[in-house]
Structure 1
Amino acid sequence: MATTNTDGDGDGYEIEVLGTCKTNTRPDSQHIQQVDAKHLWSYAQEEALTALSEQGPDKCWRLITDPERRAKRIAARYADLYFASAEKSRGKVQLYWPALAAFVVKDIVEAYRYSRDNVLNGGWRNAARTSGASQLFAELATEGSPYEHSLRVYAALAKGNLWLFMDIYPWLWFVLEYGLNKDGSMNAERLTSHVSQRNAAEFQHQSKTAVRELPFGANWLGRLKGKLASDPVYAKGRSLFDTPPTWAGLDGGYGQHVASASEAHRYVRQHAKDADAGYRTPPSKYWTKFDEAFYVMEEERTEMGRIAADGAATARLQKVAQFRATKEMTATYTTLIAEIGATNNKARVERQLEELRTVAAQEQINILQPLIYDDPQLVKTMDVNHWISRASSGGLSPTYTLYFSAAPRNDDRDLQITFDEPKSPWDRTNGALGGTLKSLPNKDDRMEYVAKIAEQFNLLMSKKRAYMEHELQTIRGWLDA
């Protein structure tokens, strides 16, 4: 049974108290009542929400709207789970998947930066990716411009990273907070009885409401539609083209068109923040560097409008957002209970690998596949990016490579692993000429890659643990990014 009351926080605000409370006020006479599982799961979800939020002067927590800052915090939280699991269990359990996930999300931070600096910024420095010739090729090959493809990937990363964290983090945080006894032993009975009781519909009001209002949920998308329809910055930028060019001049009116475009770009760079409110993609603070800001905004409207209108994708997200137990998470809890009972290091490592692979299946198949990889437009974008990166050796588009370092890149081949890497010059040429390539959105191809990542990660943790943990401690330092 849950006991609930409200206490003042010292500043006149009331805070909800859930937990074991006194049922009478006589000193040294306290009857402890057990908290319902649904309240513990509310606490776990609240931990995920506040991890990506900041508290204002009014004591309210508000989600950080910048997905790049959120990503750094997510990476840090995963790294923290790795270290905290060993600390709280007194060395009996150490979560493996979060350590690997910290490196993956660190690379997502870099992917955001690449999208902005190497594509959306435009300009001569990025002409090979965003010039007129590149635009024409992209339109002919994929029915979309480089800006559109970059925004599509940016939005998909923002959506997948946020909602994966909202699902996975509470599962693992719950183990450390409520599944371990004070002596580091496992409360197996609580874990096995509570794993099936996580249900977003039964969260306390604050957590339930916060989840419903998260980005890319139905409510958020509804507000996004309204903002796209009445965006004053776009309307003003568009109006600067209202005077048609005089196409009969020596330059065929091209100079007048360029002048109008230049004015529109300048206006958008200066005013993108005026109607942001957390709905710009990327956030408006980055737009001051976009050379062709108005054209980026046009593509933003196209892509975000497409996402907002995709009812099937929204329905898939709503199903994920129920946060119900899956066979993978039930198996993960069973594996962690077995790990703490392992009698030798070999058995413990086997359980760690089992935990990593099982949570990876939850991550890739149950969460990311329906959230982002079932989007046929994203599939097209990612496949063409892979084709270009493979043909250009990463020169025109980055390869899908995981780097085991806190830095965005490293030069040690043992500390990186690339998806569908060419095995020979002929393999690269054949792929560029239309040979069969693997597809990261394809779950079979992706899980094959995940298996290789897990194998390499385990090897590094056995041979270079000091290095790996040093890098993870660096990532852990982003908790308040």
Structure 2
Amino acid sequence: MAHDDDNGYDIEVLGQCRTNPREGSQHTQNVEARFLWSYAQEEALVALSEQGADKCWHLITDPERRAKRIAARYADLYFASADKSRGKLQMLWPALAAFVVKDIVDAYRYSREDVLNGGWSNMARTSGPSQLVSELLTDASPYEHSLRVYAALAKGNLWLFMDIYPWLWFVLEYGLNRDGSLNADRLRSHVEERDASTLQAQSRDAVKELPFGANWMKRLQARIEADPVYAHGRSYFQTAPTWGGMDGGYGQFEANAGQAHRYVKANVKNYDKGYRVPGSEYWGSFQQAFYVMEEERKELSRLVDDTGALGRLQKVAQFKVTDEVRKTYSLFIDEYALDRAGKVSSQQEEVNIIAKQEQINVLQPLIYQDPKLIKTMDINHRISRASLGSLSPTYTLYFSSAPKNADPALQATFDKPKGPWDYVTGKKMSLPNPTDRMVYVKELADKFNDLMKNRRSYMDGELQKIRGWLHA
């Protein structure tokens, strides 16, 4: 894939071989591992792209639409692995991941409609005597906290997919033969060969241009500095009187602010191209659009300046094998020959091992080492726990294709109070903390495994609905 300035990519021909004119003849072509890994990486890129009128593949810039595609791709791996292997191998972690990413889609929606939209519902979070709300107010505005989580989810979801999807798709495409048999030798040898530096040039360059990477950050910084929509919106305040005083200054300030908000809503799409958070198509409903833009500008500038985070992303983006990936490939190879009981046990172990790759090897360095995000998530958790989710949603996974369900058996809540005293004494855990998070992940995996054992038809039906987002 080759990059252009508007997030466009051309599909690259990774190699050529001679064709045989004899009808029905077959030939096995040994292709170097680096080419196969290039195809796998390209598959991940195309999965989150659309082909435009220029015949180039353009990355979907809206994190919400990307998340729906990601959830669908994970669900598809779950079903496709069983189909291609004739039932001898079925990847289970992607099914759990599909539900998790489905909830990320709703987290984006909540951020836009319940926080960034402003209005009376948002004022309930930012007024009153509550010590927790006061802490939120003195630390940062609800807009800043919401945008911080939104951007972190966009970054983590995208780059986790770029890491983990090619590992699993490779098994499906090159570890399973057309007749459903297993190519164990290829899996054992090729798992060691994935390395972003050895990808074909165009595929390698396309990865380098993805959001939150170094090149994207440079372009983002330039766009922030030259943002004409922000500059014009800010100009409404240049002649505005101060808030205080006896001359009606507050009223004039509010009038000028109203003009700025209307201008931003009307013109935000003119300066976007995938760098707005959220995408500019959603800003028409933001009542205080200019204030949202101020916080967006602040948060994105902070990310641009975070060289430590960029360095950690670049390390993850090398896509080199880890012990967890090696163990996963070994499990797949072993599972293929096991009986039904053995397969279930192997699949449950797969869920736990890939969860460690996901949470510790990828997401922890990518997003959970950000002190600002840690504070935001801890405040959100404390408020949601104390208010039973009325002022901020709890960190809950819902095992359904719908955003939420009413069945406690289909839910798993992080750090849920276990009694009145536990509720009164406040939060016990922090989601960004890797130890605390893995306790929750184990709880999710156990509940998921139980549901897959006892309510398989329901779970498969919900996963088929999520799979239907492949072209969302």
- Where on the TM-score scale, by shorter chain, does this alignment land: which range? over 0.9
Structure 1 389/27 Cα, relative in aligned 2: closer, same or farther at 3 Å?
A: closer
Structure 1 202/256 Cα, relative in aligned 2: closer, same or farther at 3 Å?
A: same
> Where does residue 354 of structure 2 map in the other structure?
359
Structure 1 36/133 Cα, relative in aligned 2: closer, same or farther at 3 Å?
A: farther
SS for the counterpart of 2:124 is helix
Contact map agreement 1:138 1:144 (CA 8 A) in 2: no
Which of 443, 449, 472 aligns to 2:463? It is 472
Cα deviation code 1:416-473 (max 9, x no counterpart): 0000000112211111xxxx52000000000010001100000000110000000000
Larger deviation, residues 399-408 vs 238-247: 238-247
In 2: Cα distance, 1:118 partner to 1:446 partner? 26
Which of 348, 361, 379 aligns to 2:343? It is 348
Work out whether 1:96 is the aligned partner of 2:97. Answer: no
Structure 1 303/138 Cα, relative in aligned 2: closer, same or farther at 3 Å?
A: farther
Which of 308, 312, 315 aligns to 2:308? It is 312
SS for the counterpart of 1:367 is helix
Larger deviation, residues 406-415 vs 141-150: 141-150
Structure 1 31/86 Cα, relative in aligned 2: closer, same or farther at 3 Å?
A: closer
Which of 427, 434, 441 aligns to 1:443? It is 434
In 1: Cα distance, 2:287 partner to 2:388 partner? 26
> Where does residue 461 of structure 1 map in the other structure?
452
Work out whether 1:268 is the aligned partner of 2:259. Answer: no
SS for the counterpart of 1:373 is coil
AA aligned to 2:465 is T
In 2: Cα distance, 1:248 partner to 1:303 partner? 28
| Unpaired segments ≥5 residues, structure 1 | 1-13
Structure 1 44/135 Cα, relative in aligned 2: closer, same or farther at 3 Å?
A: farther
Contact map agreement 1:49 1:166 (CA 8 A) in 2: yes
Larger deviation, residues 26-35 vs 164-173: 26-35
SS for the counterpart of 1:353 is helix
In 1: Cα distance, 2:28 partner to 2:177 partner? 17
Contact map agreement 1:142 1:381 (CA 8 A) in 2: no
Cα deviation code 1:372-408 (max 9, x no counterpart): 0011110000000000000000000000000000000
Work out whether 1:70 is the aligned partner of 2:43. Answer: no
SS for the counterpart of 2:258 is helix
> Where does residue 5 of structure 1 map in the other structure?
none
Work out whether 1:369 is the aligned partner of 2:364. Answer: yes
Contact map agreement 1:122 1:130 (CA 8 A) in 2: no
CA drift of 1:358 comes to: 0.7
Work out whether 1:401 is the aligned partner of 2:396. Answer: yes
TM-score (norm 1): 0.92
> Matched residues, percent identical?
67
> Where does residue 214 of structure 2 map in the other structure?
218
TM-score (norm 2): 0.94
Work out whether 1:85 is the aligned partner of 2:87. Answer: no
Structure 1 140/51 Cα, relative in aligned 2: closer, same or farther at 3 Å?
A: closer
CA drift of 1:181 comes to: 1.8
AA aligned to 2:281 is K
AA aligned to 1:446 is R
AA aligned to 2:48 is L
In 1: Cα distance, 2:37 partner to 2:388 partner? 46
Contact map agreement 2:243 2:253 (CA 8 A) in 1: no
> Where does residue 10 of structure 1 map in the other structure?
none
> Where does residue 155 of structure 1 map in the other structure?
151
Cα deviation code 1:108-157 (max 9, x no counterpart): 00000000001000012332125598999456666211100000000000
CA drift of 1:90 comes to: 0.3
In 2: Cα distance, 1:282 partner to 1:185 partner? 45
Contact map agreement 2:398 2:411 (CA 8 A) in 1: yes
SS for the counterpart of 1:185 is coil
SS for the counterpart of 2:326 is helix
Which of 113, 117, 124 aligns to 2:120? It is 124
In 2: Cα distance, 1:125 partner to 1:336 partner? 49
CA drift of 1:244 comes to: 3.5
> Where does residue 389 of structure 1 map in the other structure?
384
Contact map agreement 2:244 2:250 (CA 8 A) in 1: no
CA drift of 1:479 comes to: 0.2
> Where does residue 162 of structure 2 map in the other structure?
166
> Where does residue 322 of structure 2 map in the other structure?
326
> Where does residue 3 of structure 1 map in the other structure?
none
In 1: Cα distance, 2:381 partner to 2:115 partner? 16
Structure 1 213/428 Cα, relative in aligned 2: closer, same or farther at 3 Å?
A: same
Contact map agreement 1:86 1:92 (CA 8 A) in 2: yes
Structure 1 297/219 Cα, relative in aligned 2: closer, same or farther at 3 Å?
A: same
In 2: Cα distance, 1:246 partner to 1:322 partner? 52
> Where does residue 415 of structure 2 map in the other structure?
420
Cα deviation code 1:202-257 (max 9, x no counterpart): 11122111100000000000100001111000000111001131668646511111
AA aligned to 1:445 is D
In 2: Cα distance, 1:121 partner to 1:369 partner? 30
SS for the counterpart of 1:402 is strand
SS for the counterpart of 1:197 is coil
SS for the counterpart of 1:452 is helix
Structure 1 264/186 Cα, relative in aligned 2: closer, same or farther at 3 Å?
A: same
